[in-house]
Amino acid sequence: MPEPMIRMTDAAAERVRHLMSLSEEPAIGLRVGVRTRGCSGLSYSVEYAKERKPYEEAIESNGVTVLIDPTAVMFLIGSVMDYREGIFESGFTFENPNAKGTCGCGESFHV
């Protein structure tokens, strides 16, 4: 069986399940995409998915449905989504083998 386009760590899946349980509107999963913004050019977008849009790829990772925006596929292949908590910040992070560099603050990347 081929590797999924994007994988989610146990910590990320646990956090997504927790956030989805707090959502006021039902969600079928999480939509991951890439937007043009930030000092390096591209930034990840993560939002609740209420429905599957045309041409989206659906991936099951650690019991969570991840919908991949079709315009982001080429930027996300082989990525690992994680959730980290630290003293000064917490949030989702991406280990992306396609990224050639990131900005100093880590909010954006380029390929």
Residue 44 vs residue 65, higher pLDDT: 65
Residue range 45-61: average pLDDT?
89
What are the φ/ψ torsions at residue 33 (nearest 5 degrees)? -145, -175
Q: Is the pLDDT of residue 81 over 80?
A: yes
Asked if 67 and 46 touch (Cβ cutoff 8 Å), the reply is no
Q: Using CA of residue 36, residue 25, residue 84, residue 62, what is the dihedral sign? A: negative
Average pLDDT value for the chain: 83
Residue range 29-51: average pLDDT?
83
Q: Identify which of 5-14, 59-68, 101-110 has the greatest average pLDDT.
A: 5-14
pLDDT value at position 107? 62
> How do the residues of the chain divide into helix, strand and coil, expressed in percent and rounded to 5?
20, 40, 40
Is this model's pTM higher than 0.75 or not? Answer: yes
